[in-house]
Amino acid sequence: MEHGPLILALLALFGLVGGIGITAVGPGGVLPTIGMFLLTGLSPSGVAGTAIATHIATGALGTAAYTRSGQLRDARTRRIALILSGAALVGSPLGVLFNTLVDGRVFGILLALAVATTGILVWVRERRTSAPEEDDDKTLSPVVTGAVGLLVAVAAGLFGLGGPMLSVPLLVICGLPLLPALAAAQAQSVVIASVGTAAYLVHGSIDWALAALVGIPELAGVVIGWKIAHAVPVRKLKFALAGTLLALAPYLALHG
C-alpha cells in the first residue's frame, strides 16, 4: 500500500514520540498503533501485527538500558520481570486471537477504551508516585504480578503493544516504585513482542516496510526516553501524555 511523504513522516514521528514515552513514562508504545490505525488503511490485524513487530527491538534496547542503569540487576526487579514475562507467554497469543475476531469498527472502539483507560491510569499513577509515603524498597506478590502480566499481555497482543503502556501504571498503582516498574516492563515487552510477532506472522499481518519506518525512529526515542527518565523531572510530560490520550480516545472510537 502506497503512502505519501507526509503520511510517512507522521508515522515516523509517531514512532519517535512513542519510543520516548516507552522508557520515560511507560505508556508510549500505543502511539505507533494509533498512528497506523489513523493514517493507513491496514486491517486491525495489520495494524497490530506491524506495530508489535517494532517492539521486539525497542523492548530489547529498553531492557539493555535498564540493566545498564542497575534496575534489572536488582533481584526483586528481575523476579517481577520473569513473572510478567511468563504471563506474556500465555496472554499474548490470546490477544492475537481476539484481534482476528474483530472488525475495524470494533477495533477502533476497543482501542479508544484502552487509550482512555491508559490516560486515566497515567494520571492516577502520577498522583500515586507523588505521595510522600512511597516506599522505594516495596515489591509485589507473585499473584498480583502474574495477574497484571496476564492482563497486559492480552491487551498488548490485541492492539500490537509492547506492554509498558499498561504494565507500568498498573505496577505503580499496585505499589511498585517507578524505575523498577519501567525496567520490568521493558523485559516483559520483549516476550510480548516476540510471541505476538510470531503469531501475527502466521496470519501474514505484518507490513515490514512500515515496521522499519516506525521502528527505527522508535529505537532512537527509547534511548532519549531512558535519559529523560533518569535526568529530568517528567511530571508535566506525564500529564501531557495523559491529556493527549484522553483527547484521542473519542476520535479513535469514531474513526473505525
Would you give per-residue pLDDT tens digits along the chain (256 residues)?
567 889 999 999 999 988 888 777 666 778 888 899 989 989 999 999 999 999 898 889 889 988 988 889 999 999 999 999 999 999 999 999 999 999 888 999 998 998 888 888 777 766 655 555 455 566 789 999 999 999 999 999 999 987 777 888 888 888 888 789 889 998 999 999 999 999 999 999 999 999 999 999 999 998 888 888 777 665 666 677 777 778 778 877 877 5
In eight-state DSSP terms, residue 161 is -
Nearest to residue 22, comparing CAs of 44, 48, 54, 50?
54
In eight-state DSSP terms, residue 138 is -
User: CA-to-CA distance for 244 and 246, rounded, in angstroms?
Assistant: 5
**Hey, what's the cell of 219?**
529505537
- Sorted by where each begins, the domain ranges of the chain are 5-255
What is the CA angle 123-76-178, rounded to 5? 20
16 in Cβ contact with 153 (< 8 Å): no
User: CA-to-CA distance for 220 and 229, rounded, in angstroms?
Assistant: 15
Place of cell 516498574: 181
Would you tell me how many other CB atoms lie within 10 Å of the CB of residue 113? 13
Helix, strand, coil share (%) of the chain residues, nearest 5: 80, 0, 20
